């Protein structure tokens, strides 16, 4: 989105929330425009505009949406529906049913995020050897917790601006070369 498109989006917000922007100095308005232009530089104007309008029509609080809310709405509009943890577990459980002899084949059928959590086909094979009580309770619970954590981590990473994501990737690569483990994106915020 370029400067003129940013100003158009901000004009829509100003029209929808006139009291919020009343009394704002030209400098404050310019600072807001500079920030929005920077944060949405890589995004298509039509998508940002659609997300802003969607937030306006669903607003019940009377406050203009912030950048994070607009970005989240954009992801909701453009990204396919995320596989839920119960759905992911159902796929894994089904794969386990053929996990003794077809673990590799079953593993390859699973979505990449599920493969990442499992680590390798041998995990399916190991789980296929477990009793159904253990599979349906302890293992299911642990998998679903890991799936929830990983989807949140990926969602948070994908929400980062491209330049911050590139920096995070560069730091992760450097740490991997140094033999250090990667810190979680939210480490130290708990």
pLDDT at position 180, please?
Answer: 60
Q: Count CB atoms within 10 A of the CB of residue 121.
A: 19
pLDDT at position 1, please?
Answer: 94
First-to-last alpha carbon distance for the chain, in angstroms, is 35
pLDDT < 50 regions, the chain: 183-190
Contact (CB, 8 A) for 67 and 48? no
Confidence (pTM) = 0.65
Contact (CB, 8 A) for 115 and 107? yes
pLDDT at position 161, please?
Answer: 81
């Amino acid at each position: 989105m370029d400067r003129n498109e940013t100003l158009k989006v901000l004009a829509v917000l100003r029209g929808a929330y006139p009291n919020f922007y009343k009394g704002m100095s030209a400098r404050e308005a310019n600072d807001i425009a500079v920030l929005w232009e920077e944060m949405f530089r890589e995004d298509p104007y039509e998508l940002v505009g659609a997300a802003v309008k969607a937030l306006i029509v669903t607003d019940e609080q009377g406050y203009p949406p912030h950048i994070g809310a607009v970005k989240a709405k954009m992801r909701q509009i453009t990204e396919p529906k995320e596989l839920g943890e119960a759905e992911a577990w159902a796929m894994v459980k089904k794969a386990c049913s053929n996990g003794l002899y077809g673990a590799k084949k079953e593993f390859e059928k699973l979505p990449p995020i599920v493969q990442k959590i499992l680590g390798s086909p041998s995990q399916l094979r190991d789980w296929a050897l477990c009793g159904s009580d253990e599979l349906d309770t302890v293992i299911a619970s642990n998998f679903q917790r890991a799936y929830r954590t990983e989807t949140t981590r990926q969602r948070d990473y994908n929400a980062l601006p491209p330049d911050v994501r590139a920096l995070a990737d560069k730091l992760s690569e450097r740490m991997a070369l140094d033999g250090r483990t990667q810190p979680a994106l939210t480490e130290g915020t708990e």
